[in-house]
């Protein structure tokens, strides 16, 4: 089956955060601004997902959702066939999104005042959620080498105070699309074991690897350390269904899982029945859509990287996954406000690098999950905005 990712859906004015949230965040209500900030795609969901939702509507029942066995099996089968990860269906837990699950894990394994390690720059919700819950965020700066991020575990080891409880890990990495090697993951897991830390791995972008690139789940890379591992993931990024607010929490170890189960039970909530229909349709029937969208995103990334890298003083991080490109403007000597103003004047709205904390200044994150014509329009605008540097 073929899919039309070139179609521009009429998203403005339809309660779409990426479009309708521009004014409160960027201070402009210009309808010509191209949003490249919020991490979702401008593409229609797969036909199977839309059919599953229609079937729920046709049923007419919108009450509480019950048995999760079908979804449990769909999750387990997807991760086994796509990523080589043997997941026991009985280990699958559901949250109201990955950020909600992040809070559940923090509540389970830490207390207010405890320290949470975050490799920065990274997805900003890690900082916000931890700080809102009274935890102390410790930033472990990622090292950029040969156009890639690397963890510096030696420096982190030297800086430990003994108050740390959890290490948060973003795999694949956001921003920058870094696919960590199995060796790097194993080393991180061993570090957590050595220092008695819970390893919280956010793997929500695992289904967005570019064609020819393999993703290694943390549980596969370091099975000897699953006694301290909790994985958060979802179908939301890979299948563009974040509005379903249905996340997955996977704790392979029974004792770890039992502790998290207590916190989840205390919430006394049930899964979103529409989110569960979406999840099953994604993992059971939308594999070819996933293959197609990843190929489209890979080509978008190739075009964007080639054109942006040609702007003097601008460099683009090599990306193996996601659609979130990390672009370095620091050689231009501009302030972060100046960089943002140049983009907004060009009617392009990326995410400011400072949002991702340490190492973010002088950078911008661009969402490339746009119809190709829209992406090319955005690139042309950026080239023009920095044309005085040519």
pLDDT grade for 267, boundaries at 50, 70 and 90: confident
| Mean pLDDT on 161-165 | 97
Helix intervals (H) in 133-171: 153-159
* Predicted local distance difference test score (pLDDT) of residue 207: 98
pLDDT (mean) for 220-224 = 98
* Each residue's pLDDT tens digit, 15-25: 999 999 999 99
**Over the chain, what is the mean pLDDT?**
97
Q: Is the peptide bond before 336 cis (omega within 30 degrees of 0)?
A: no
Q: Is the pLDDT of residue 389 over 80?
A: no
pLDDT of residue 390: 60
DSSP 321: B
**What is the C-alpha to C-alpha distance for residues 371 and 53, in angstroms, rounded to an integer?**
24
In 3-state terms, what secondary structure has residue 377?
Answer: helix
Before 175, cis peptide (omega within 30)?
A: yes
Q: Give how far Cα 358 sits from Cα of 93, 171, 249, 353, 361, Å.
A: 32, 18, 28, 9, 8
**Contact assessment for residue 280 and residue 235, using Cβ atoms and an 8 Å cutoff:** no
Which DSSP helix (H) or strand (E) runs through 192? Answer: helix 182-194
Alpha carbon distance 226, 253 (integer Å): 6
Instruction: Find the helix packing angle between 336-345 and 372-385, rounded to 10°.
Output: 120
**Separation CA 105–CA 99 (nearest Å):** 10
What number is the average pLDDT over the span 126-151?
96
Domains of the chain: 17-46+288-389 (3.90.1150.10), 50-284 (3.40.640.10)
pLDDT 10s digits, 64-104: 999 999 999 999 999 999 999 999 999 999 999 999 999 99
**pLDDT at position 42 over 80:** yes
CB atoms within 10 A of CB 284: 16
Cis peptide upstream of residue 308 (ω within 30 degrees of 0): no
**Which pLDDT band, with edges at 50, 70 and 90, does 51 fall under?**
very high
What pLDDT shows up at residue 261? 97
Dump pLDDT digits (tens) for 272-309. 999 999 999 999 999 999 999 999 999 999 999 999 99
Q: For residue 101, report the phi and psi dihedrals to the nearest 5 degrees.
A: -65, -35
Asked whether residue 388 carries a pLDDT value surpassing 90, the answer given is no
Q: Can you say how many angstroms the Cα of residue 45 is from the centroid of all Cα atoms in its chain?
A: 18
For residue 311, is the peptide bond before it cis, meaning its omega torsion is within 30 degrees of 0? no
């Amino acid at each position: 089956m073929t899919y039309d990712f070139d179609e521009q859906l009429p998203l403005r004015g339809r309660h779409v955060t990426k479009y309708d949230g521009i004014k409160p965040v960027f201070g402009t209500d210009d309808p010509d601004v191209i949003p490249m900030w919020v991490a979702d795609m401008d593409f229609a969901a797969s036909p199977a997902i839309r059919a599953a939702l229609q079937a729920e509507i046709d049923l007419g029942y919108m009450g509480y959702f019950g048995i999760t066995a079908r979804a449990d099996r769909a999750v387990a089968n997807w991760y086994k066939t796509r990523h080589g990860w043997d997941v026991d269906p009985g280990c699958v837990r559901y949250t109201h999104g990955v950020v909600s699950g992040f809070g559940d894990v923090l509540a389970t394994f830490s207390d207010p005042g405890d320290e949470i390690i975050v490799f920065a720059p990274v997805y900003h919700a890690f900082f916000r959620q931890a700080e809102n819950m009274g935890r102390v965020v410790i930033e472990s700066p990622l090292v950029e080498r040969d156009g890639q991020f690397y963890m510096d575990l030696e420096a982190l080891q030297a800086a430990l105070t003994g108050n740390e409880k959890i290490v948060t890990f973003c795999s694949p990495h956001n921003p920058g699309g870094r696919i960590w090697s199995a060796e790097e993951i194993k080393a991180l897991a061993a570090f957590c074991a050595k220092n008695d830390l819970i390893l919280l791995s956010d793997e929500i972008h695992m289904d967005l690897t570019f064609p020819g690139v393999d993703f290694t789940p943390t549980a596969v890379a370091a099975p000897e350390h699953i006694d301290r591992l909790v994985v958060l993931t979802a179908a939301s990024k890979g299948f563009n269904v974040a509005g379903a607010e249905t996340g997955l929490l996977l704790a392979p170890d029974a004792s770890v899982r039992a502790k998290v189960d207590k916190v989840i039970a205390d919430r006394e909530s049930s899964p979103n029945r529409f989110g569960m229909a979406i999840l099953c349709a994604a993992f059971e029937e939308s594999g070819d859509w996933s293959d197609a969208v990843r190929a489209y995103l890979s080509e978008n990334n190739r075009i964007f990287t080639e054109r942006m890298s040609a702007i003097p003083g601008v460099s683009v991080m090599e990306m193996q996954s996601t659609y979130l490109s990390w672009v370095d403007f620091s050689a231009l000597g501009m302030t972060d406000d100046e960089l943002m103003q140049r983009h907004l004047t060009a009617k392009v709205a990326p995410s400011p690098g400072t949002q991702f904390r340490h190492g973010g200044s002088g950078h911008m994150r661009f969402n490339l999950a746009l119809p190709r014509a829209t992406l090319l329009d955005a690139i042309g605008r950026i080239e023009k905005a920095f044309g005085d540097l040519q």
